[in-house]
Chain A
Amino acid sequence: MLTLVVRRLGLLVVVLFGLSVLLFAWVRALPGDPARALLGEKATPAGIAEVTRRYGFDQPVWQQYLTYLGRILHGDFGASINTGEPVVRTFTERFPATIELAVAALLLAVVVGIPLGYLAARRRGGWLDNAVVGGSLLGVVVPVFFLAVLLKYVLAIQLHWFPTSGRQNARIDATHVTNFYVLDGLLTREWDASWDALVHLVLPALALGSIPLAIIVRITRASVLDVLGDDHVRTAQAKGLPRSVISRRHVLRNALLPVSTTLGLQAGALLSGAVLTETVFSINGIGSYLFDAVTQLDYPVLQGFILFIAVVYALVNLVVDVSYGFIDPRVRVS
């Protein structure tokens, strides 16, 4: 197991190096001049020349890359051209918002998806099964941003059940320790702050969780159907084990393996879906920041953030792979 982890981490370093080269080339191939994007209507030729010089954009690209690589190795990812904020600090400040949202969306998908998928399989062909299959198809095809706008319009603007945007009511004077707002409220015993943050999470999590939910429902259903037909289930039934025990020990446990694989893959989808969801709900996570960075040509932010996301994605999948071993001992052996 340890060898697996070490080997995967080594591979990660190689992948990141390749990615950094590609990213660097890609970001610089984007049309437009970052100095002009920064200085706006008020730009003067001297100002543009000065900013270009300050950020080294007048150097050959390969030289810029080597400088960048040298800095990265010292943990310095540079600072945003637009705000001067260090990239690492912005990332650590904003990442909790995205994680909070992604975890909420994933929790929703798992908590609702697995039972629904299981039920649909057990009632194969029934109305519930049909509803689940149809609903999940809808969940996959409806774009996240459309659902986000729709949810916001109906549940927030028309019905006033939920806030329209942000992570917390501006009128609440909350203390922030970890920048995970729900957690912060619990840590500081500001219950209303925690509750308010949770309320703000509902709509974005519903929107963002729609695709993983639909996928988990389908995979659980298919997987449960598969396992139900297996010999060991039939044996267990023949032994006269209670149905609840069979379901828990023999069906669900085996059926969950493909579901956990999907969860790992969905981590990436959640991060990209977060860009749209965060923009629609004005959540200050990395998604919305990345979106701004693209429109503003903020090279250091783009490069740094995409590298960070790649690391997070690779680590999540490593964890998923390792977790197979715990769910299914056979994987550990091979």
Chain B
Amino acid sequence: MPAQLQSEGPEHHPTRRAFTLAAVATAGLATLSACAESQRDEGGGSGESSGSGRDTFVFGGSADPDSLDPVFASDGETFRVTRQIFEGLVSTKPGTTDLAPSLATEWTTSEDGLSYTFTLQEGVKFSNGKPFDAAAVVANFERWYNLRGIAQGEDLAYYYRSVFRGFKTNDDPALGTSLYAGSTANPDGTVTVNLTSPFAGFLASLTLPAFAMQETGAVEAAGGNGLDGADPRQSEYATSGPIGTGPFVFAGWERGQQVTLKRNDDYWGEKAKVASAVIRVIGDGTARKQALQNGDIDGYDLVAPADVATLESAGFQIQNRPAFNILYLGINQALAPLGDLKVRQAIAHAIDKDAVIKNALPEGTKAATQFMPENVIGWNESVTTYEYDVDRAKQLLAEAGQTNINIPFNYPTGVSRPYMPNPETIYNAINQQLSAAGITTTPVAEQWTPNYLGTVQGGSNHGLHLLGWTGDYNDPDNFIGVFFGAATNEWGFNDPGLFEALAAARTVTSEDEQESAYQDINEQIMTLLPGIPIASPVPSLAFAEGVEGYTASPVQDEVWNTVTVADS
């Protein structure tokens, strides 16, 4: 018997079994990968149809939407989705900030600027079959005006609050009289919206996706107004049943994973060319790039400037959005000696914007002369500028008696914004230039969330800082009104003259008057020099070779009915 124990046979049994196991596991992996590959070669999976192009357009977004009810949203990822489902009365001409008809074919403004009459597109139906008409428009305005409780919050009705300034009944004492006075459905099918005071940016603000037309009956039926005290962003309507008139209809939302849209076959305009569109959520920028390279997605947004050249040389398409943002160096006048105009002028002369752009911003970016991009009404061609001149900077500092100054310089880390793709690099570039002019700074780096904004906006304990803004619609108030409309901790100055000028310009109705009023204000701002506008960087989108028909918009008004995806 001992002979048997020593014999080869039985001893190797378990060994062999284990090896078989390992072999099976390896073979399994190999098969898996082979299949993954072949699946991609076929172009996807069950959602595909045979034929010349792909039936699904897959886009990589950076975050989940907050809600599918655009009234309660203010972020780009939400609007990316709702823009496909809903339409507003007014939209923008593709690729520009100019107004264009949408659900309203034309409009007239009363002379006093207090009432707007819209002629509506005929034969339009919501995706649940209900007609879109003057009554539906009135119902939408009334819905916004009548929001109550939590729904009035700044994190929910952000755009309604910033444009209309108040509700029928204000729950928050900080709110004022509503700009909205009422609306009527006229017998001829047009609709008239009345305002309590003139507002120059009214039509442009209606291009905001937040003011898109919804089927208010469906909203109400699914508890979408938050009247029961629940968060209306999470109502059944806002999570699984949005009803609009757009080229796509909602098909499904797997939280954190993707939103699926299907073509609206009854769409009144140019019907979508793809049968469905999917917005995949990929938070990390590198992961988005890799997903595109691997063919998992057809396109993505917020391409890092450093990736543009790599992608382009690998055959991917890059589209630059016309810049509609501004990056600036903020100055806190509450901190000595920054309250001294000569010191601020010295800082302005010490900065070589072109060098900053060359070092840290995407190709195609232009230097900024004022706190708004060129395509906004009121941009002033002949505004006071401060050319790069180190000697002049030193001289101004000497005149101010500040030859040896040291100021804190705040900049954020761990963030990439369209106007500020890489804050650390921008900081380095500016800081070197300042020190060349004899201005020493103490760097204060902070995480974007949670600390940075709190430091530069919430307190007065900061000196220079990097920040910026992306415009929402073509209205100067949306840029300089936001920055300089009132005294804030960010800038640390109080100039009632400027605040009043901005408040008055807001109510000017004619575009010509508006233009000259804002040109004056821009000059006033650049003389006062509360900060240094640096540049308006161009944000980039990337697409696979086969994607066509996508028009990048400065205000991200990008609707996908014209998009086609060819097999590449």
Q: Indicate with 1 or 0, residue by residue over B379-392, a CB within 8 angstroms of chain A CB atoms.
A: 00000000000000
- Cβ-defined partner of A155 (8 Å) among B1, B5, B33, B74: B33
* Known A54-B150, A152-B290, A240-B1: A176·B254 in contact at CB below 8 Å: yes
B154 on interface, CB distance cutoff 8 Å? yes
A277 on interface, CB distance cutoff 8 Å? no
Instruction: Give the A-B pair count, Cβ closer than 8 A.
Output: 226
**In the complex, residue of chain B having the shortest beta-carbon distance to the beta carbon of A117:** B18
Q: Are A171 and B48 in contact (CB under 8 A)?
A: yes
A38 on interface, CB distance cutoff 8 Å? yes
- Cβ-defined partner of B36 (8 Å) among A86, A163, A165: A163
* Known A122-B15, A170-B278, A173-B46: A116·B283 in contact at CB below 8 Å: no
Q: Which secondary structure dominates where chain A touches chain B?
A: helix
B13 CB contacts on chain A under 8 angstroms: 243-244, 247
B40 on interface, CB distance cutoff 8 Å? yes
A180 on interface, CB distance cutoff 8 Å? no
Interface segment out of the listed A258-266, A292-300, A308-316: A292-300
A230 on interface, CB distance cutoff 8 Å? no
Q: Are B282 and A165 in contact (CB under 8 A)?
A: yes
Q: Indicate with 1 or 0, residue by residue over A83-114, a CB within 8 angstroms of chain B CB atoms.
A: 11110001001100000000000000001100
Q: How far is the CA of A83 from the CA of B73 in the complex (A)?
A: 10
Q: Are A165 and B291 in contact (CB under 8 A)?
A: yes
CB of B10, distance to nearest CB on chain A (Å): 4
Which residues of A line the B interface, CB within 8 A? 30-34, 36-44, 46-51, 54, 79, 82-86, 90, 93-94, 111-112, 115-116, 118-119, 122, 152, 155-157, 159-173, 176, 190, 192-193, 195-196, 198-199, 202, 237, 240, 242-244, 247-248, 279-282, 284, 288-289, 292, 295-297
B174 CB contacts on chain A under 8 angstroms: 46, 49-50
State which residues 307-355 of B face A: CB under 8 Å.
none
CB of A4, distance to nearest CB on chain B (Å): 34
- Cβ-defined partner of B35 (8 Å) among A34, A40, A199: A199
Q: Indicate with 1 or 0, residue by residue over B464-499, a CB within 8 angstroms of chain A CB atoms.
A: 000111000000000000100000000000000000
- Cβ-defined partner of B153 (8 Å) among A54, A282, A289: A54
* Known A50-B174, A79-B231, A84-B233: A118·B153 in contact at CB below 8 Å: no
A38 CB contacts on chain B under 8 angstroms: 155
CB of B83, distance to nearest CB on chain A (Å): 19
16 A-B pairs (CB sep. < 8 Å): A36-B457, A46-B172, A47-B154, A83-B234, A84-B231, A111-B25, A115-B21, A162-B36, A165-B291, A173-B46, A173-B47, A176-B254, A192-B46, A195-B35, A279-B283, A280-B287
CB of B264, distance to nearest CB on chain A (Å): 17
B293 on interface, CB distance cutoff 8 Å? yes
Q: Indicate with 1 or 0, residue by residue over B52-65, a CB within 8 angstroms of chain A CB atoms.
A: 00101010000010
Q: How far is the CA of A199 from the CA of B46 in the complex (A)?
A: 15
CB of B194, distance to nearest CB on chain A (Å): 26
Q: How far is the CA of A51 from the CA of B157 in the complex (A)?
A: 12
B215 on interface, CB distance cutoff 8 Å? no
